[in-house]
Structure 1
Amino acid sequence: MPDYFPFDPNPRTPSVALPPLSCDSQFHVFGPRERYPVQPGAVYEMPSATIERALALHATLGLQRGVIVQATTYGADHQVVLDGLAAAGPNYRGCANASVLKTAPESYLDRLDAAGVRGARFSRAGLGITLSPQDIDRALGKVRELGWYVKVQPHPDDFLTAIAPFEKLDVPVVIDHMGRPDPQRGLDDPNLRKVLELLDTGTVWVMLSLGEKTSKAGPPWDDVVPLARALIEAAPDRCIWGSDWPHPVSTRQPPNDADLMELLFRYAPDEEQRRRIFVDNPAALFGFPAAGEGGQ
């Protein structure tokens, strides 16, 4: 298993305070290894990225809500997510890996749902989990029964193919990482154009994440700003933000997490836009109480 770079252990406070009840719509939890064994054939693991470290990061950044997304490292065993949700409390939700819908009994899926899992992520190829078309169909049936959303993790080279099974669903679909567009192609990038087309359907959402890895220019990642702004303009009520902490499979040192949040501030310089992306939109998608309605 190759070694990847760890997260910056010293996050700073961002330059702009977040609105109350702001949400990190995607982060992962890893370890400790002796408690959560890595599945055979796992492509990667991350050191020291526990729920306690995640919650400390959120406190520093000003985040009060979050969604723990199951890493492929653990396959269909979601104990790390279940324990993370129990530790984090009612302001947190979970997103399963879709592989669990292939193998787990109904009782386990009900347990995930009761714990706060509200979606299933279909991982990109190359991360150690493969689902056949039949597996995907079965998984989507389970998603409908549970009332969950679908999350699609794109790969930059096969997004148009990978998104095909999810284009006409009657459940919410979240496209991770802005669809992994190529900034060198600008607004004409095929992946970006496809995401914009899907946003027109009214049931597709997009996560404004991974700008630092999508960028071809490097810090301060100016080349991804117009792409993100195009997505916000297309669907201001269906854009969310996720840190992707602890930044798995990083082949170079990840930036300070405050730098990534401040990149979002450049995507959305308007205070109202930020409130939607950090508070209102996640509340609608993940089932949090709206601000002023008993939200914690």
Structure 2
Amino acid sequence: MTLPTGATDVHAHVMTGPGGGVPGAVYAPFEAPVERYLAHLDDLGLARGVLVTPSAYGRANGVLRAALAAAPDRLRGVAVVGPDASDDELAALAAAGVRGCRVQDRFAGGTPVTALPALQERVAGLGWHVEVWTDPREHRALLREAATRGRVVLDHLGLLPAPPPGEPDPAVPLLRELLDAGDAWVTLSGAYRLVPGTAEAAAAPALRERVAAVLAAAPDRVVWGTDWPYVAPPGPVPTPADHRAVLADWLPDAELRRRVLVDNPARLYGWADNV
């Protein structure tokens, strides 16, 4: 399988080693520098990447900013900020290459999902989207309303565990509802998190129904990510071979691969061209 020119990984993290973690973090920061991430992109044949401030750093975005400066043409960022962020802080992040911010309630640290309405209002003038890492069943009405006000990106295929073999996927009607509500997007990522204890490639078939449903509902609002460096993994750590197998499984059509890997992330993260 050949990846299109400009293919993009929209979900990864960088860290600079032990220290700097917030109290109560689920994992301690470890060595995952931007140089290794760029090598990861090269290994997979990917042109671009998006770095998300990891939960272990809370709202400290210094490591993210330094990483973006290492490859400004190749990298974009998603920061963690609160509704009380200053104009100067937001302007500095935008200048560094940040194009969105994240809310989540899965790990300690960061900004809670309940802050989503206020955060959307705060960053609206920047043109940022808000990335959400949560179980959408817990915030269904909030997410539906948020999608009517601005761009919302749902991490890790909506986070619901894969269904048992042969059973319908309960995430499908929920994700369709949110995609139909407004400007909601879905990231195809983290299969190994949704089938705990299973390797990424082996987990992918259990999520085919979900992937096909979101692609059918909103092919121009779907992106893909590797989740490197796989913090707090619930099973085997994904390999480059796993990622290639997942892409072949979920995106077998060349035109669809270009849309999900190149065109959609270029729009979402503000790359001026698709090459």
TM over 0.5, yes or no? yes
Residues 251 and 201 of structure 1, relative CA distance in 2, 3 Å threshold: closer
User: In the aligned structure 2, how far is the partner of 1:19 from the partner of 1:267?
Assistant: 15
RMSD: 2.1
User: Given the two structures, how large is their TM-score scaled by the length of structure 1?
Assistant: 0.83
**Code of the aligned partner of 1:123:** Q
**Partner in structure 2 of residue 206 of structure 1:** 186
User: In the aligned structure 2, how far is the partner of 1:246 from the partner of 1:148?
Assistant: 24
1:1-296 residue pairs with structure 2 within 5 A?
Answer: 16-33=1-18, 37-97=20-80, 100-129=81-110, 131=112, 133=114, 135-155=115-135, 159-169=136-146, 170-184=149-163, 188-215=168-195, 218-219=198-199, 220-221=202-203, 222-291=205-274, 295=275
**Residue 197 of structure 1: SS of its match in structure 2?**
helix
Question: 1:93-124 CA deviation, whole Å, 9 max, x = no partner?
Answer: 10012xx2245322111100111111111112
User: In the aligned structure 1, how far is the partner of 2:175 from the partner of 2:235?
Assistant: 27
Aligned residues: 269
8 Å CA contact 1:181–1:189 kept in 2: the answer is: no
The higher-RCO structure (CA 8 Å, 6+ apart) is: 1
8 Å CA contact 1:28–1:71 kept in 2: the answer is: yes
5+ residue gaps, structure 2: none
Deviates more, 1:193-202 or 1:87-96: 193-202
8 Å CA contact 1:46–1:246 kept in 2: the answer is: no
User: In the aligned structure 1, how far is the partner of 2:185 from the partner of 2:117?
Assistant: 21
Residues 163 and 84 of structure 1, relative CA distance in 2, 3 Å threshold: farther
User: In the aligned structure 1, how far is the partner of 2:58 from the partner of 2:88?
Assistant: 18
Higher helix share: 2
8 Å CA contact 1:179–1:192 kept in 2: the answer is: no
5+ residue gaps, structure 1: 1-15
**Partner in structure 2 of residue 6 of structure 1:** none
Shift of 1:80: 0.6
**Code of the aligned partner of 1:212:** Y
8 Å CA contact 1:178–1:192 kept in 2: the answer is: no
User: In the aligned structure 1, how far is the partner of 2:68 from the partner of 2:259?
Assistant: 24
8 Å CA contact 1:29–1:50 kept in 2: the answer is: yes
Question: 1:145-193 CA deviation, whole Å, 9 max, x = no partner?
Answer: 22210111023xxx21234323223211111111123332677433331
Q: Percent identity?
A: 36
**Code of the aligned partner of 1:42:** A
8 Å CA contact 1:119–1:148 kept in 2: the answer is: yes
**Residue 167 of structure 1: SS of its match in structure 2?**
helix
User: Given the two structures, how large is their TM-score scaled by the length of structure 2?
Assistant: 0.89
User: In the aligned structure 2, how far is the partner of 1:127 from the partner of 1:24?
Assistant: 25
**Code of the aligned partner of 1:257:** P
**Partner in structure 2 of residue 4 of structure 1:** none
8 Å CA contact 1:69–1:96 kept in 2: the answer is: yes
